[in-house]
Amino acid sequence: MKSIAKFALTTVTFTALALGVAAVHAETVKIKVDGMVCAFCAGSIEKKMKANKETAEVFVSLENKIVAVAQKPGQKLDDAKLKAQIADAGYEVKGIERVNATIADIRAEVKAKKS
């Protein structure tokens, strides 16, 4: 019985540590942007974000006014730099958060909102 309890405690501890590390090292920056009104706007922001050497992938949802930027493994995207790039392009950053989600996850979330 002790070995089962020890195994369960070890599993719970390992899972909590893994989740904690994942939350601290979120891979994607999700930015709420105001002022995007057309596909050209979205394309312009996407191009700016892809120019960052730390960027792995970008997703822009014009409908939801969201820009998601996934960072390359071992790289760190700077929130202030991303905000400045969007502001320099003529758009307003309404919010920025680091999420533990992939670009595919965010695309699926946006698609689900449409349904």
pTM comes to 0.75
Residue at 100: amino acid letter: N
For residue 90, CA distances in Å to 15, 37, 54, 98 come to 43, 12, 22, 22
Residue at 97: amino acid letter: E
- Per-position pLDDT tens, the chain of length 115: 555 545 444 444 444 444 444 434 458 999 999 999 999 999 999 999 999 999 999 999 999 999 999 999 999 999 999 999 999 999 999 999 999 999 999 999 999 988 7
Q: Identify which of 69, 33, 67 has the alpha carbon closest to the alpha carbon of residue 53.
A: 69
Selected from 3.20.20.150, 3.20.20.70, 3.30.450.20, 3.30.70.100, the CATH number assigned to the domain covering 26-114 reads: 3.30.70.100
The domain locations on the chain are 26-114
Cα–Cα distance for residue pair 70/57, rounded to 1 Å: 5
